[in-house]
Amino acid sequence: MANHFSALKRARQTTKRTATNRANASRLRTALRGLRETIDAGDKAAAEKTYRETVSALDKAIQKGTLHANTAARYKSRLNARLVAMK
């Protein structure tokens, strides 16, 4: 364990930041799973509503630094393709 004041502070900050990042990533995974399940269920209206919420979650993940912008764009594109294919 760290002995210097600055190292102790960094350890505390890292613990907090790790918890925040984990929560953000978990929230994002839950949103993605929910959308995939809705698409698999076949309810188009519910899937469109869930898609908008999931895109919002992806955009928030970009802002928080949890996800790279290109990765989020890829997720959005693939999920939208699955949504369009429901027709």
pLDDT at res. 2: 74
pLDDT at res. 48: 95
Residue given tokens 């393709």 in the structure block: 81
58: closest CA among 84, 83, 27? 27
Instruction: Give pLDDT tens digits for 50-69.
Output: 999 999 999 999 999 999 99
Q: Which domain holds residue 15?
A: 5-84
Q: Write the CATH number for 11.
A: 1.20.58.110
User: How far is residue 86's CA from residue 62's CA, in Å, rounded to a whole number?
Assistant: 27
User: How far is residue 87's CA from residue 85's CA, in Å, rounded to a whole number?
Assistant: 5
Beta carbons within 10 angstroms of residue 19's beta carbon:
10
Q: Please state whether the predicted TM-score (pTM) of the whole model is above 0.85.
A: no
Number of domains in the chain: 1
